[in-house]
Amino acid sequence: MAVEWMTLLSAAAVILLIAFIIFILFRANNDLARAQEEGEHFVDEWAEREEKLEEKRRLRKAREEELKKMEEARQEQAAFEADYRGRGKKEGDGRQKQPGPVRDQKADPGSQKQPRRFPDQKESRPALLLLELDENKRILRRIPVDHIPFRIGRSNDNDLVLDDLCVSRKHVSIERSGDRYVAVDLGTKNKIFSGGKLHDQLPLEAGVRFFIGNIEMLVEMKR
């Protein structure tokens, strides 16, 4: 009797385990897909944080360099003035006037009346960012487009080198058209694939996804 009860209990437990495994198999799919999407904001958040830190470091370094240059110029100016005053004093004593030292205009930023301004490098840079995506639409890397034209292709002399056989040696050039950016195909076989069509020219706006060969890119505009 006890054996029968135990068999029954074990069969019930087996059914429970089967239900659990089926639940995991079915739900794991949905849960993981959702978690993947939700998890993206963690990845973005970290990347944004790193980018901000990098920007801060870059600005701090630029500011330090600027201050150093100004300090050097100030010291040089002070040295020049001291020398000039010394000579003026000697002239006042009745001696022949000596020509003063020739002022180096380039090395004397004080004479050019340059405004002491924090260097804002964003002005000279295009506000465009390309995000390379993997098969699961996760961000593999962030590529700032730091100058125009920005060339993309398989060969090493491009600004962005893509290691994919479907990418031509010189595939795409990112150029400015008015106040917009445009990806221009450089006469390749596979062209630029976006929205189910092949494009020779593709206007780049925030959120636009396109393929260069097998590599998917997402456009992001810097704030």
Partner 1 sequence: MREKQEHTISMTRIRWEIHRAFYSFWTGPLMAVILMQIAALLFMGAKGAGRIYLNLLPLLLLISLAGWLFTSVAHGNRKVLVYSLILLTVGTMLQCIFIEELVIRTGTRDPARTGIASLELQYLVSLAAALAAGIVYFCTDFIARKKTAVLMAALAVGLSLLTLVFSEGVGGVKNWISLAGISLQTTEISKLLYIPVCAYILGRDRETDRRTLAFFYGYTFLSLLLLAVQGEFGTLLLLLLVFLSLHLLFVSDLSWLLGVVLALTAGGGILAAIGRKLTQMQLDGSGARTGALVRFYLDAYSKISNRFIYWLNPEKDPAGLGYQLLKAKESILLGGFFGTSSVTDLPVKSSDLVYPALIERCGLVFALLIFIVFNLLWLEEMKVFIRKKQRYHQIIAAGFGTLVFYQALIIIAGSTGLCPLTGITLPFISSGGSSLLVCFIMTALIIAVSGNIPWKGGMEE
Footprint on this chain of partner 1 (rule: CB under 8 A) = 3, 6-7, 9-18, 20-25, 27-29, 31-32, 35, 38-39, 42, 46, 134-135, 138, 140, 163-164
Burial string for 42-76 (b: 16+ CB within 10 Å, else e) reads eeeeeeeeeeeeeeeeeeeeeeeeeeeeeeebeeb
> Least distance (Å) from partner 1 to the CB of residue 218?
16
Select 51 or 66, whichever has its Cβ closest to partner 1: 51
Q: What angle do CA 111, 112, 115 make, to 5 degrees?
A: 115
* Cβ closest to partner 1, residue 123 vs residue 135: 135
Cα-based angle 48, 54, 55 (whole degrees, multiple of 5): 90
CB of 161 to partner 1, least distance (A): 11
As measured in angstroms, the least distance from the Cβ of 13 to partner 1 is: 3
Calculate the alpha carbon distances from 186 to 10, 72, 160, 191, 209 in Å: 69, 48, 14, 8, 19
Which is nearer to partner 1, 39 or 100 (by Cβ)?
A: 39
Q: How many residues does the chain have?
A: 223
Nearest to partner 1 of 25, 102 (CB atom): 25
Cα–Cα distance for residue pair 188/166, rounded to 1 Å: 10
Least spacing, CB of residue 129 vs partner 1, in Å: 18
Supply the minimum distance, in Å, between the C-beta of residue 60 and partner 1. Answer: 18
